[in-house]
Amino acid sequence: MRRSEFDIAVVGGGIVGAAIAFGAAGPGRRIVMLDEGDVALRASRGNFALVWVHGKGLGRPDYARWSARAVRRWRSFADDLAAETGTDVGLEQRGGLLLFLDGEGLTTQAAACRRIADDLGADAFPVEVLDHAATARLLPAIGPEVVGATFCPLDGHVNVLRLFGALHEGCRRRGVDYRPGAKVAAISREPGGGYRLDTAAGTVAAARVVLAAGLGNGRLAPMLGLSAPVLPERGQILVTERTGRLLDYPTGTVRQTDEGSVMIGASKERVGFDTGTETEVLAELAASAVRMFPALASLAVVRSWGALRVMTPDGLPIYAVDPSGTAFLATCHSGITLASVHAGEIAAAVAGGTLPDVFAQFSPERFADVQAA
């Protein structure tokens, strides 16, 4: 193989790309991270910042196990980032709840959690079904309309901006060459081996390539003979003014940040690449949140935004490697939760040049019929 400028080129500087670059970096390994910069359609910028396994993997125990592995490793991952970069990412991991305003919804969720546990067997993670009184003991601020909740003690949340900053600082300290404003226009294989990447900031050569560009993977993957059937899904979020401690645990739609503001989200809309907001949708989110926590009605909303999730047809991640073992693909919509294992197993696979057989269950080949259609 001809000599390359870099050993690994990671395309994408969001949470997924930065976690992989951070984990793959090591002494003598030359890595470049090519990023559009803040103009990118980042899921990272609008993420609800949950570290979450609760309710994931219904009918797909492989995904439930992968998510649980990630959640269980998050504390050591956060500690490693703090030790290396000096940044506390604000991880709170004492449990999380899904609240319900109707009994039917709670019954359906409880049944789904039981099925997930049955599918996992000995690997099952704990989930409790709580009535109103039990829920109020954890979250005294709930309103009378909350009929109950499901609770998983593994769940939690982080400060996503600190996480984003810590990953980039960790990459810098480990020698990763970060290049913002370097949107990749084309990738081609070189006759002698390796790849040429044409970017808005010039040409880069690398022995291996990792596509971690979120929605951009749909455009880039075919250049490497890979497939990434990804679709944008908009989520709108509201943020209130800071207030005293109101919520000791995050919920699936309302959480209080470590800085005191309350985040309310998030819608699920198929509107193409539109990152705007709509008053009607935001009003529905706010109304539901106030039914759950009446005290929110007195708080001022200071920000709102829309951001795009990176969704696959079944909502699960895609991991793939080409036959040469030099082109990798990683895409998912749970970049925060999975950051610990992206910096672990996935980064190790990239550095080693092989993707273990266990990841075949997340291959894009599962979408062959969808892509043909």
* pLDDT of res. 1: 34
* pLDDT of res. 245: 96
Verify cis geometry, omega within 30 degrees of 0, for the bond prior to 266.
yes
Query: In the CATH scheme, what is the code of domain 231-311?
Result: 3.30.9.10
* pLDDT of res. 373: 43
Pairing of strands 262-264, 254-256: antiparallel
Residues 6+ away with beta carbon under 8 Å from 132 = 142, 144, 146, 147, 148
Q: Would the CATH topology of 6-50+161-229+314-372 be identical to that of 231-311?
A: no
* pLDDT of res. 47: 81
Amino acid at 367: F
State how far the Cα of 76 lies from the Cα of 341, in Å rounded to an integer.
Answer: 11
* pLDDT of res. 3: 40
Query: What residue ranges of the chain have pLDDT lower than 70?
Result: 1-4, 37-46, 369-373
Q: What is the pLDDT of residues 203-217, one digit of tens each?
A: 999 999 999 999 999
Which residue do the tokens 């985040």 mark? 263
* pLDDT of res. 192: 85
Query: Any idea where the domains of the chain sit in the sequence?
Result: 6-50+161-229+314-372, 96-153, 231-311
With respect to CATH, is domain 6-50+161-229+314-372 assigned 3.50.50.60? yes
State how far the Cα of 282 lies from the Cα of 264, in Å rounded to an integer.
Answer: 9
